[in-house]
Amino acid sequence: MASLIAPHGSEQLNPLFVADDNTRAQLIQEAASLPSIAISSAAAGNAVMLGGGYFNPLTGFMNKADALSVGASLQTTAGLFWPTPVLNLVANTGDVSVGARIALLDPNVDGQPVLAIQQVDAIETLSAAELETLTQQVFGTTDAKHPGVAEFTAQGNTLISGPIQVLNYSYFESDFPDTFRTAVDIRNEISTRGWKRIVAFQTRNPMHRAHEELCHMAMDRLNADGLVIHMLLGKLKPGDIPAPVRDASIRKMIELYFPENSALITGYGFDMLYAGPREALLHAVFRQNMGATHFIVGRDHAGVGDYYEPFEAQEIFDQVPAGGLKIELFKADHTAYSKKLNKVVMMREAPDHTKEDFVLLSGTAVREMLGKGIAPPPEFSRPEVAKILMDHYQNEA
């Protein structure tokens, strides 16, 4: 068996999902008699990520001191490198009290079943000033039009902190049985395949030619054994392409344009933060936890609108303290098809090109073409991928 990269902050991965069937059944029974609280979609995503081992070595939701410390200095009060607060934020605590065990109800599944049980170590309030400061630190803005800011500030300002026991993976296992995988699952698969150098690619969008070639470039230059395409399966902003359509288009691309057994298609259960640089750091943490040795960070990684500079998500890695992360970056430039060279290149590696030498299409232009049933040029999108996307857009029309 290949020796895998160590998880973040510990020697062994510590997933918080209760794997033993009997213990889990007892906890589900216990939950029926506990005080309960319907949590936010963001907190539910945090629970799923904690359950799957992605947020190792955290044992539950952060308290106020840790949240403010992470916001200010990218580390917990104990000195663990961590980029974004992992919180159970609520507007109303109901009859929840410190010292109690409580059932956390899943807002994303019909009937709001119990997702996890939490031990309440503290109930604390963030002042308006603290919430604003934390928002600015995590998102780089307090603009309510930023989708991540809107979601974060809508949850409430009361923190319920303490360890959790996760009882299921929300809707992700049932809705995405072929794609949803925990960090434990991915580590096991990498180990079975004997891969030693593993590149992770983050996506919330379908993959066009530029993304495809970027993955090939990273694998070639790093002499990697395998690629893990890791797609976000949770909530997105309006207008983003739904996960099942993305999944189908990526599977088609891998099937046709990648060597057999060179890529794993996987997904994780989390809502997009659109936090740009801070989210890139979080992505690196949980890619290390799932066993990847290298992580592709490109232009405007995890960004939205014009809130972040093009390569800010790469530059923030300079702030990671020595030894803070073991995973290594593959820094990617904007990629585009070169008409001069008849292939996809990183634009910084083609200094003799002008803008006219590249096939450049904005996401908006591509969506408009797809909506009209027009296939984007083959230099931009593989025809088989474009067909899946065109069918989606025309069904939406």
**Which sequence positions are flagged as catalytic?**
204-205
Question: Which residues does residue 231 pair with via DSSP β-bridges, in sequence order?
Answer: 203, 267
Element (DSSP H or E) covering residue 191: helix 183-193
- What is the CA angle 191-193-196, rounded to 5? 65
| Whole-angstrom distance, CA of residue 230 vs CA of residue 244 | 14
Helix/strand/coil for 276: coil
| Residue 166 structure tokens | 């996760």
**Burial (0-12, 13-18, 19+ Cβ within 10 Å), 351:** exposed
What residues contact residue 370 under an 8 Å CB cut-off, 6+ apart? 376, 386, 389, 390, 392, 393
Strand 343-346 vs strand 335-338: parallel, antiparallel, or unpaired? antiparallel
What residues contact residue 221 under an 8 Å CB cut-off, 6+ apart? 330
Instruction: Give which of 256, 218, 263 is closest to 381, Cα–Cα.
Output: 256
Phi, psi (5° rounding) for residue 177?
-60, -30
Per-position DSSP letters for 332-357, written without gaps between them: ---EEEETTTTEEEEGGG-TT--GGG
CB-based contact 294:224 (threshold 8 Å): yes
| Whole-angstrom distance, CA of residue 383 vs CA of residue 259 | 19
The dihedral sign for the CA sequence 267, 268, 272, 276: negative
Instruction: Give which of 122, 96, 143, 114 is closest to 47, Cα–Cα.
Output: 114
